[in-house]
Amino acid sequence: MKIALVHDHLTQVGGAEHVLRVLQEIWPEAPTYTLVYNDERVAGAVDGRRIRPSFLQRFPGARRHPQWYLPLMPTATESYDLRDYDVVLSSCSAFAKGVITRSNTVHICYCHTPTRYLWSDTQQYVADLPYPRLMKWSIRRLMTRLRTWDQLAAQRVDLFIANSRNVSERITKYYRRDSIIIPPPVEIERFRPQPVVDRYFLTGGRIVPYKRFDLVVSAFNQLGIPLKVFGDGPTLPKLRAMAKPNIEFLGRIDAEALATHYARAQAFIQPQIEDFGITAIEAMASGRPVIAFAAGGAVETVVPGVTGMLFDEQSWECLADAVIRFQPKDFSSERIRKHAEQFSTAQFRTSMQTLVETEWRKLQERRWNVHQVTDAVREGRAVFTLPPEKSSE
User: What is the tens place of the pLDDT at every residue in 356-372?
Assistant: 999 988 878 876 665 56
Query: How confident is the model at residue 201, as a pLDDT?
Result: 98
Kindly state whether residues 156 and 205 are assigned to the same domain: no
User: Contact at 8 Å (CB) between 226 and 250?
Assistant: no
Kindly state whether residues 133 and 235 are assigned to the same domain: no
User: Contact at 8 Å (CB) between 77 and 98?
Assistant: yes
Kindly state whether residues 257 and 149 are assigned to the same domain: no
pTM: 0.82
In a domain, 349, yes or no: no
| CA torsion angle 54 60 65 71 (round to 10) | -60
pLDDT by residue (tens digit) across 27-44? 999 999 999 999 998 888
Kindly state whether residues 181 and 201 are assigned to the same domain: no
Query: How confident is the model at residue 124, as a pLDDT?
Result: 81
pLDDT by residue (tens digit) across 77-130? 999 999 999 999 999 999 999 999 998 899 999 999 999 899 988 888 888 787
Query: How confident is the model at residue 36, as a pLDDT?
Result: 97
For residue 389, pLDDT over 90 is answered with no
Query: How confident is the model at residue 131, as a pLDDT?
Result: 83
Q: What is the CATH number of the domain that holds 123?
A: 3.40.50
Number of domains the chain contains: 2
Kindly state whether residues 171 and 204 are assigned to the same domain: no
For residue 313, pLDDT over 70 is answered with yes
Query: Which of 126-130, 286-290, 303-307, 321-325 comes out lowest in average pLDDT?
Result: 126-130
- pLDDT bin (cut points 50, 70, 90) of residue 162 is very high
Query: How confident is the model at residue 366, as a pLDDT?
Result: 73
- pLDDT bin (cut points 50, 70, 90) of residue 261 is very high
- Which three-class secondary structure state does DSSP give residue 309? strand
Kindly state whether residues 163 and 301 are assigned to the same domain: no
For residue 393, pLDDT over 50 is answered with no
Phi, psi of 5 (to 5 degrees): -105, 145
For residue 268, pLDDT over 90 is answered with yes
Kindly state whether residues 243 and 365 are assigned to the same domain: no
> How many Å apart are CA 37 and CA 35, to the nearest integer?
7
In a domain, 388, yes or no: no
Average pLDDT score, the chain: 91
> How many Å apart are CA 346 and CA 321, to the nearest integer?
37
Domain that holds residue 146: 3-185+361-370
User: Contact at 8 Å (CB) between 105 and 20?
Assistant: no
Query: How confident is the model at residue 381, as a pLDDT?
Result: 62
pLDDT by residue (tens digit) across 343-352? 999 999 999 9
Query: How confident is the model at residue 135, as a pLDDT?
Result: 87
